[in-house]
A = this chain, B = another copy of it.
Amino acid sequence: MKIIGFGGSLRKGSYNLMLLNEFKRINQDLFDVEIADISGIPVYNQDLDSNQPESVTLLRERVKSSDGFVISTPEYDFSIPGFLKNTLDYLSRPVGMNPFSGKAGAIMSTSISMLGGSRAQYHLRQVLTYLDTRIVNKPEIFVTFANQKFDENGRLKDEMTTKFIRELGEKLRSEINKSSLT
């Protein structure tokens, strides 16, 4: 089973990229997680729909051929970061090209604040409703005070969170199984 992961910010040392890597490691017996590089996605402009850049068309194909997805979102200004929303906008345009349609996914977030990116997750759930996906309800994963939670190798120091990430992986796998039925 192959899933695609994204959401980490463009900066080196992104905590959300670390969290994606931890999801991959903890659930490696369940999925092969490929983490997308979105650094080449330009700002969306509808006038260029007939000639989308290769970085977009290739990523769309990768999402389409995946069995499911996982997103770990930073929170910027109480919502989804522009760079991530722009990626989702681009992939789902023009109408009819949405590669997420019908797929199962899981979401997580981490931030250095006390709410761990939760506000971004609720906005993201609304976007993912539009994209006609099936998002795992629980457990919710909000890694708060991110700067204290990862060791120098990017591993989570907190066992409880590790356990929840495993549970999320198992729920996602079960959701993917259901969504593949007709």
Contacts and interface: CB of A to CB of B under 8 A. Distances in A.
Given A45-B11, A87-B82, A119 B129 contact: no
Interface string A11-52: 110000000000000000000000000000111111100000
A162 interface: no
A17 to B, nearest CB: 12
A1 interface: no
Copies in the complex: 4
Given A79-B123, A80-B79, A178-B181, A43 B41 contact: yes
Interface in A60-93: 76-90, 92-93
A126 to B, nearest CB: 5
A149 interface: no
B125 A123 contact: no
A170 interface: no
Nearest to A82: B86
Interface of A: 9-12, 41-47, 76-90, 92-93, 114-115, 118-119, 122-123, 125-127, 129-134, 137-138, 142, 144, 178-179, 181
